[in-house]
Chain A
Amino acid sequence: MMRFVVVRAFESLVVLALMSFVVYALIGLMPGDPIDIMLAGDPNMTPEDRERLRQLFGLHLPIWERYGNWLVAAIGGDFGFSRTFNRPVLEVMAPNLGRTALLMMSSFVLSVAIAIPLGLAAAVRQRRLADYGINLFCFAGKSVPPFWLALMLILVFAVELNWFPAGGIETVGASGIVDRVRHLALPVACLTLLNLASVARLMRAEAIGALRQDYVRTARAKGLAERRVIWGHAMRNALNPVVTVIALEFGTLFSGALITETVFAYPGMGKMIYDAILGNDYNLALIGLLFATLLVLVGNLAADLGYAALDPRISYR
């Protein structure tokens, strides 16, 4: 078990290191460079100033050396300054990380809590109206453009019904937990709906397989209540493959969070990355992408370990 964790953690670290180089190189290829932006802000700069600045920031060096310098600084905890916020990027990012974690975790828990009973219900009523209804709902959930779902939620619940605010995280001047929760409601609902479909569909397929097994027949023959048969016997066994897929869906969940945050103006990691890329805030974009990758990798690893905890047959040596 320990060995497995160490190997997987090491693999994740390699992926992260590779990703950091790829992203570093790609960000260097984005339009404009820091000096051009400074030039645009200060018309008095001469070409000599420009060259001096290039030397000062090390922009004349080849990409390998620049990346090396960045890496050394980064390992020492210095990820540079944000151009738009004029503060160290870690300081800018920290609150966003917490808010994205809150958004993702609440949607994740909610969607799994809804999807599992939903998938089971469909499996038990296989080829009946409820099953077709749930199936259609799942297809719709997989097929809806994520940003459009967010827009529709705003249209119905914020513009038409005026039940919830359309964006942001709190009302200016107001405070308190109720206000925060009201602001969270639509983003969480949106991300939950997006995540729900794939889990419910898989749960249905697995539960149908499990319900055909001999041990389910034995349980019924013993005279167990149908509830016990479904929840105690079929569900436990159907859950394992579902957990594996949830593990692989962590990246998708983050993509959903990025869109949700952007549409609802929710200041999390996704919106921060998007704004940083559009605003040429290279350091912030870089650190944001790396932490997003880290988030996904840790999520995958955690789900792998959860798999082992759920299924005693798997030991990972």
Chain B
Amino acid sequence: MTAALAKAERPAPRNRARARFMRHRGAVVSALVLTIIVAAAIGAPLVEGWLGHGPNDPDLGKRFLSPTWAFPLGTDEAGRDVLLRLMYGGRVSLLVGLAAALASAVIGTAIGIVAGYYGGRLDAFLMRLTDAVISLPSLALLIVLAAVDLKKIGVPDSIAYSDAVSLYRIIFIISLVGWTGVARLVRGATLSMRTREFVRAAVALGAPARRIMLVHILPNVLGPVIVATTLSVGGIILAESVLSYLGLGIQPPIASWGNMLSNAQEMLTQAPQLVIYPGLAIMLTVIAFNFLGDGLQDALDPRAGE
């Protein structure tokens, strides 16, 4: 076979990755589903305008309504529009999922690269720390972290008791325990990168450690990091929903898929649909992120998985 022919048959790596991704039907469908969910979350104010009422307007005369044109999915136990609350709740869940996944990825990548590059005692210490965090009962720890009184660590009242603080707090505490997977992954990849010729050449040329880590190693470990980050979004959305369900996450009046379920137990007999919708929304989103991650893994990191 001639070289030209071989070249024609083998597309560029980027196209090959795209082709592998497109072959993963679950991932393609998930990408579509996620696009719709994101569009719904972004378009929430638009729909609010059409319907003429807000997501947090209680109306005790309109409790547990069946779906109508004014309330497409009916109303909840306080007479609020369920569809609007689902759309606004989606904003919160997606924001928390993406922000905490990104923050965890940054922390994990930094720790992983430093541990893998420097090796020795620092590596041993950082990896023991990672093992320790992995071995903790993470949900119980998250509950304690979520219950901490911000005032006692010196946050002024105006911030500690504002509505938005529960959002930032949950992103922060989830990132605090969520970085371990990426750290392990990146450390492993860095260890193998460190022995490669181009890295050794850079060392020999006298490049400073920071430059080697950022310019030579980081771009080459990014593939697995992207996969792991995508796969972690689902778990984070689940964690947020659990904490909000337990009353320790996103605080009312801000709607989140988790806190829409915090009265679920009482509603189970009276209005089971109010329990079913938010749960389905969470599950659909999380499944989509997991399939997307799986597809990205096939595309970017074909040797992992099977």
- Which residues of A are at the interface with B, using a C-beta cutoff of 8 A? 11-12, 15, 18-19, 23, 26-32, 139-140, 142-148, 151-152, 154-155, 159, 205, 208-209, 248, 250-252, 254-255, 258-259, 262-263, 270, 273-274, 277-278, 285, 288-289, 292-293, 295-297, 300
Contacts and interface: CB of A to CB of B under 8 A. Distances in A.
Contact of B137 (A18, A208, A263, A293): A293
Interface string B264-306: 1100110010011011001100110011000000000000011
5 contacts: A28-B152, A144-B279, A148-B282, A155-B268, A273-B143
Contacts of A289: 137, 140-141, 144
B183 to A, nearest CB: 14
Contacts of A278: 147, 247
B75 interface: no
A159 B268 contact: yes
Contact of A142 (B128, B144, B234): B234
Contacts of A19: 132, 136
Interface of B: 26, 128, 131-132, 134-141, 143-145, 147-149, 152-153, 234, 238, 241-242, 245-247, 258, 261, 264-265, 268-269, 272, 275-276, 278-279, 282-283, 286-287, 290-291, 305-306
Nearest to A291: B137
Contact of A147 (B138, B144, B152, B245): B245
B248 to A, nearest CB: 8
Contacts of B132: 15, 18-19
Contact of B275 (A11, A151, A254): A151
Given A147-B245, A155-B268, A159-B269, A254 B140 contact: yes
A87 B278 CA distance: 40
A270 B140 contact: yes
Contacts of B135: 12, 15, 250-251, 293, 296-297, 300
A11 B129 CA distance: 11
Contacts of B242: 145-147, 259
B246 A262 contact: yes
Contact of A29 (B26, B140, B149, B238): B149
A29 B241 contact: no
Given A147-B242, A205-B305, A27 B136 contact: no
B140 A292 contact: yes
A259 B278 CA distance: 17
A159 B264 CA distance: 13
Contact of A148 (B152, B279, B290, B291): B279
A145 B283 contact: yes
B124 to A, nearest CB: 12
B137 A29 contact: no
Nearest to A12: B135
B51 to A, nearest CB: 26
B147 A251 contact: no
Nearest to A299: B135
B279 A152 contact: yes
Q: Please name the 5 residue pairs, one residue from A and one from B, whose CB atoms are nearest each other, closest first.
A: A255-B139, A148-B279, A143-B286, A31-B149, A143-B287
B279 A143 contact: no
Contacts of B258: 145
Given A11-B128, A139-B291, A296-B137, 7 more contacts: A19-B136, A140-B283, A143-B287, A145-B238, A147-B245, A148-B241, A155-B275
Given A19-B136, A251-B137, A285 B238 contact: no
B283 A26 contact: no
B134 A251 contact: yes
Contacts of A293: 135-137
Contacts of A15: 132, 135-136
A284 B272 CA distance: 35
A205 to B, nearest CB: 5
A26 B134 contact: no
Contacts of B138: 251-252, 255
Contacts of A140: 283, 287
Contacts of B283: 140, 143-145, 148
B137 A254 contact: yes
A277 B258 CA distance: 20
B148 A255 contact: no
B240 to A, nearest CB: 10
